[in-house]
Amino acid sequence: MKTEVIHFSYQVFNSAAELPAAYNMLLEKAKAATAHAYAPYSRFAVGAAALLENGEVITATNQENASSPVGICAERVLLSAISSVYPGARIHTIAISYHNQKSQVSRQPVFPCGICRQSLLEQQTRQNSPIQLVLGGLEGEVVVINNAANLLPFGFSGKDME
């Protein structure tokens, strides 16, 4: 028997103002996108913005439904849109922010849900390069993760079926 340890490092910035300018700009786009979320049920508006390697920036939001399982997280709306509009494009960085319309508090990062982590892993495997994540509320600390797969240890991918 042996014990293995998984660890990864990530960066925590005290505020968006401390971020490298390109990350701050992308996070600003994610924040602005929250205004376009369709979240009448949770009133938790999520915005995501991707910087592609071709320089394009594309944004997306969560889209809810009266039948709750039909709703889609901002991250998966984003990945689907990118695949459809820029097929084959590699994603460099994704920024994610949110506006909690109930509490009006948005001071710490939220992290992608489990299904979105799996979808991010699929995209990384597909493009064969890591996707960086920039995660922050409308204010407060911002977390930067340099490989989305770090959020899904033991993740299952197509490579497992080869």
As measured in angstroms, the least distance from the Cβ of 1 to ligand THU is 36
Least Å distance, CB 150 to ligand THU, is 15
Catalytic choice (18, 28, 53, 75): 75
Nearer Cβ to ligand THU, position 105 or 113?
113
Residue of 89, 91, 19, 71 lying closest to 31 (CA atoms): 19
d(CA 76, CA 92): 16
Least distance CB 92 / ligand THU (angstroms): 19
Give 42 or 118: the residue with its C-beta nearer to ligand THU. 42
For ligand THU, the closer of residues 87 and 114 by Cβ is: 114
Least separation in angstroms between residue 34's CB and ligand THU is 10
CB atoms within 10 A of CB 82: 21
CA distance 27 to 42: 22
Q: Which is nearer to ligand THU, 42 or 147 (CB)?
A: 42
Euclidean distance between CA atoms 47 and 124, whole angstroms = 20
* Whether 75 is catalytic: yes
Nearest to 134 by CA among 16, 5, 9, 8: 16
Tell me if residue 94 falls in helix, strand or coil.
strand
> Using only C-alpha atoms, what is the Rg of the chain?
16
Binding site for ligand THU (CB under 6 A): 39, 42, 44, 46, 62, 64, 71, 73-75, 112-113, 116
Positions marked active-site: 75
